[in-house]
A and B are shown apart, each in its own frame.
Chain A
């Protein structure tokens, strides 16, 4: 399974483009450095994603004359910038194995000058909202409900703990990301 799922790759590339126009090759390298530790992005995926973004008007191409696809430079559009902001502000639906998405969000928030702590707080609120519901359901339910809810609660709690740790380390992370 890919670390960064579906839409996230697009948002990640958009976020990276906020720093300035880049070639597809550069984008792949930056992405791999930041998010693709054990699963580098394939070229094909980079270009197909960029093609989709181009189609949606979130990026535009600054063509250099006489160049092949490798020589194309991509730049983020205004629509792209607001898309990234919207994505960051939108908490993820709490679900297992969310960390990677959240991590990407935090890093990109730092890169794009958004408040990473806000991202985490938003997410915490969302998590807690779900946890409250699960707690209510568990405390009112039968044993099976209790076990199922507990399972979910413990996973959500693990997420939140990770959020707390991340929040505590955010300064450190910011220094690294911006380096």
Chain B
């Protein structure tokens, strides 16, 4: 029997103006699994990710994380949750250009109240884990795209989140760099038992997942899969 899912979305509806982004979308994420959200551009997969992460508030429906209703939470609570329980990797432009890579990775810990020294110590360890120690004291603009994404992955994992949300994490990278990022990312996530919600339109990236859910026209076309 499958255990309780960690994160569920039930019948989410969300529209931006007249455009319907989500139309009764439901999905389940289990602890420690890598779930790929696939689908064409504009299908609503990123929107679904944002709803799952408590960034966007759906018009209807419910998002439950570890038994807590995200949609009923105050914005501050959700922010706190994102700081402590979630991690994020985006396609690009996510690192603060003025901070060094090390400081960027340390940032979530410091936002959570850690001391500078402690935060930077864990950050350095994560940079090493993702094989980008050499850019620790450079600013993001001075690193390559692949290095930047690995720094971003390090930043997403540094708080040891239970769920990492990745939105086209390799979208701006070439095949080899993208694959290396995915290898390190998924390996690190599995090591820390973090679940990953991976939005991608690339099958080879989706191939790093355990399961996939296809989003089309704001709906998730789920299939029964064997666990």
Do A and B interact directly, with beta carbons closer than 8 Å?
yes
A residues touching B (Cβ–Cβ < 8 Å)? 117, 121-122, 124-125, 127-128, 131-132, 134-135, 139, 153-154, 156-157, 160-161, 164, 167-168
Residue of A117, A134, A139, A154 near B216 (CB, 8 A) is A117
Could you mark each residue 182-210 of chain B with 1 if its beta carbon is under 8 Å from any beta carbon of chain A, else 0?
A: 01000000000000000001111011111
How many A-B pairs have beta carbons closer than 8 Å: the answer is: 46
Tell me whether B141 is interfacial, beta carbon within 8 Å.
no
Tell me whether B214 is interfacial, beta carbon within 8 Å.
yes
Q: Whole-angstrom distance between the alpha carbons of A124 and B36 in the complex?
A: 12
Q: How distant is B210 from chain A, measured CB to nearest CB, in Å?
A: 8
Query: What's the interface size class on B, roughly?
Result: 10 to 19
Could you mark each residue 121-154 of chain B with 1 if its beta carbon is under 8 Å from any beta carbon of chain A, else 0?
A: 0000000000000000000000000000000000
Are the CB atoms of A124 and B214 closer together than 8 Å? yes
| Known contacts A124-B212, A167-B40, A168-B40; A161 and B223 CB within 8 A of each other | no
Are the CB atoms of A167 and B216 closer together than 8 Å? yes
Q: Whole-angstrom distance between the alpha carbons of A139 and B223 in the complex?
A: 27
| Known contacts A124-B214, A168-B40; A132 and B203 CB within 8 A of each other | no
Provide 18 A-B residue pairs closer than 8 Å at the C-beta atoms, listed in order of the A residue.
A117-B221, A121-B223, A122-B223, A124-B212, A125-B223, A125-B225, A127-B203, A128-B207, A131-B203, A132-B208, A132-B209, A135-B204, A153-B204, A153-B207, A156-B203, A157-B203, A160-B203, A161-B203
